[in-house]
Amino acid sequence: MLKQLVYRSKATEKFSEEDLSKIMSDSLPYNEPNGITGILLFDGEYFFQVLEGESEKVEALYEHIKKDRRHSAIVKVTEIVIHERNFGAWLLRTLLVNQGSRCYWLPTDLNLNRESRIFALLNSFASGKWRNCLSDDDRKKINAKVAVKAASVDAFENSNIQFAFQPIVDTFKGRVSTIEALIRSDDGRYPEAILDSLHGDEKYKFDLESKAIAIAQGAKLLNPSQSLSVNLCPGAITHMPNVADYLCSLLNQHKLKPKQLVLEVTETEIISESAAFYDVIARIRSRGIQIAIDDFGAGYAGLSLLADFSPDIIKLDRKITTGIHEDGHRQAITEAVLEFGNAMGIPLVVEGVETMEEWLWLQHVGVQRFQGFLFARPRLNGLSEINFKC
């Protein structure tokens, strides 16, 4: 199959037009016998290259290119199967982008459809829209420190379920902003397995009653500036007519304010609910309890859900986070959600952050709150120690 792979990167040294020509001439001995075609743009600081050819040949060349020390902050913008080549006559063509005008020049022997994906990508690069590269200099400017001691609470008595707690870390402020309560059974089962074993009213009653344990234990771990985040399925929310009063009574019992509770509901659950669900959500919010869309990006609702539901917090799913530092699609999605959140005053929490590279890119583009193993794993009946420093 023919494949088209596009990447962008940042130069680690100065390049003249002659240097670019040498890159082209050095590439020909490999490109010609392996059937690689494409184009390389350079604007004085960033590279933007399109590679075309048989799938395995393109992938092998890309892995080789990634090891070249003349550039860094390499991100795969897109990788798709194509029917025909856009640059079939060129084994490699290098072009210098005019930085002053921020528009690129294409030779007359190249005819691209202005409605095509590749034309849009080239135009995007040339107009300066691909600028969130994390260079070595950028990395040196990023500093963060979060140090939190481990904490424990007694197991809840006479219960076959307990809660593990995982912090949401604000690396801009160097603190834990929220603690999420994650249900666990005494036989080691996780939330999905626990709830899937129950049905109908039994499931909803259990879901609601378990929050009494989560709030009782979580209250002992919070300080006044922190919030407790709990998950509640939509069926449970509509199961109890006075669920807002119920949640507030639990908070009052443990001397927590309504604003210290965050109710998480998943994207896929929200979109399938009825008007009754939205009415109850409105009553909950009127009491001061916050509502978060959990696992955003894992479902199918997309940005339209943000417009219709307008949550207090957006939690971006780990499927978007994983490998984000080298994946253009995931970066574009995250930036779109972050921009929406900033415009609407809705904080973004990025879930599933497990590597320093992922965090560095996210911090670089302005994400402030994170949840993931990089900072702390969930701890049964307590909080793990955090000793994060960059």
Contact predicate 177/168, CB 8 Å: yes
Residue 105: how many other CB atoms lie within 10 Å: 11
What confidence category does residue 26 fall into, taking pLDDT thresholds of 50, 70 and 90?
Answer: very high
CATH 3.30.70.100 fits 141-389, yes or no: no
What confidence category does residue 245 fall into, taking pLDDT thresholds of 50, 70 and 90?
Answer: very high
CA distance 390 to 382: 25
The model's pTM: 0.84
What is the CATH code for 2-133? 3.30.70.100
Reduced DSSP (H G I as helix, E B as strand, rest coil) percent helix, strand, coil of the chain, to 5: 40, 25, 35
The answer on pLDDT for 102 being more than 60 is no
Contact predicate 2/81, CB 8 Å: yes
CA distance 199 to 289: 27
Contact predicate 165/181, CB 8 Å: yes
Look-up of token digits 């995931």: 330
What confidence category does residue 52 fall into, taking pLDDT thresholds of 50, 70 and 90?
Answer: very high
Q: pLDDT above 90 covers what percent of the chain?
A: 59
Res 178: pLDDT? 98
What confidence category does residue 259 fall into, taking pLDDT thresholds of 50, 70 and 90?
Answer: very high
Q: Which residue has the higher pLDDT, 165 or 303?
A: 165
- 281, 296, 182, 288: which is closest to 229 by C-alpha? 182
What confidence category does residue 59 fall into, taking pLDDT thresholds of 50, 70 and 90?
Answer: very high
What confidence category does residue 215 fall into, taking pLDDT thresholds of 50, 70 and 90?
Answer: very high
Res 99: pLDDT? 59
The domain locations on the chain are: 2-133, 141-389
Res 113: pLDDT? 79
CA distance 315 to 13: 38
Tokens of 319: 């499927």
Contact predicate 357/72, CB 8 Å: no
CA distance 354 to 50: 30
Q: What is the mean pLDDT of residues 253-279?
A: 84
Q: pLDDT above 70 covers what percent of the chain?
A: 94
Q: What is the mean pLDDT of residues 115-121?
A: 84
Tokens of 265: 């509901």
Tokens of 361: 């890119």
Res 89: pLDDT? 83
Query: Mean pLDDT in the chain?
Result: 89
What confidence category does residue 88 fall into, taking pLDDT thresholds of 50, 70 and 90?
Answer: confident
What confidence category does residue 28 fall into, taking pLDDT thresholds of 50, 70 and 90?
Answer: very high
CA distance 78 to 232: 37
The answer on pLDDT for 367 being more than 70 is yes
CA distance 38 to 60: 15
Contacts of 355 (CB under 8 A, 6+ apart): 325, 374
The answer on pLDDT for 300 being more than 70 is no
Domains 2-133 and 141-389 share a fold: no
Look-up of token digits 């075609």: 37
Residue 172: how many other CB atoms lie within 10 Å: 12
Residue 343: how many other CB atoms lie within 10 Å: 8
Beta-sheet pairing, 386-389 with 145-148: antiparallel
The answer on pLDDT for 103 being more than 60 is no
Alpha helices in 287-327 (DSSP H): 303-309, 318-321
Distance of CA 82 to the CA centre of its chain: 28
CA distance 134 to 78: 18
How many residues are recorded in the chain? Answer: 390
Q: What is the mean pLDDT of residues 54-62?
A: 96
Q: Which residue has the higher pLDDT, 104 or 376?
A: 376
Residue 78 backbone dihedrals phi, psi, to 5 degrees: -160, 160
What confidence category does residue 346 fall into, taking pLDDT thresholds of 50, 70 and 90?
Answer: very high
The tally of CA atoms less than 13 A away on the side-chain side of residue 12 is 12
Longest Cα separation, the chain: 79
The answer on pLDDT for 114 being more than 90 is no
Contact predicate 265/298, CB 8 Å: no
CA distance 338 to 314: 9
The answer on pLDDT for 66 being more than 90 is yes
What confidence category does residue 322 fall into, taking pLDDT thresholds of 50, 70 and 90?
Answer: very high
Beta-sheet pairing, 151-152 with 290-296: unpaired
Residue pLDDT, tens place only, 136-189: 778 888 999 999 999 999 998 888 889 999 999 999 999 999 999 999 987 767
Res 130: pLDDT? 65
Contact predicate 317/338, CB 8 Å: no
Residue 195: how many other CB atoms lie within 10 Å: 20
Residue 171: how many other CB atoms lie within 10 Å: 22
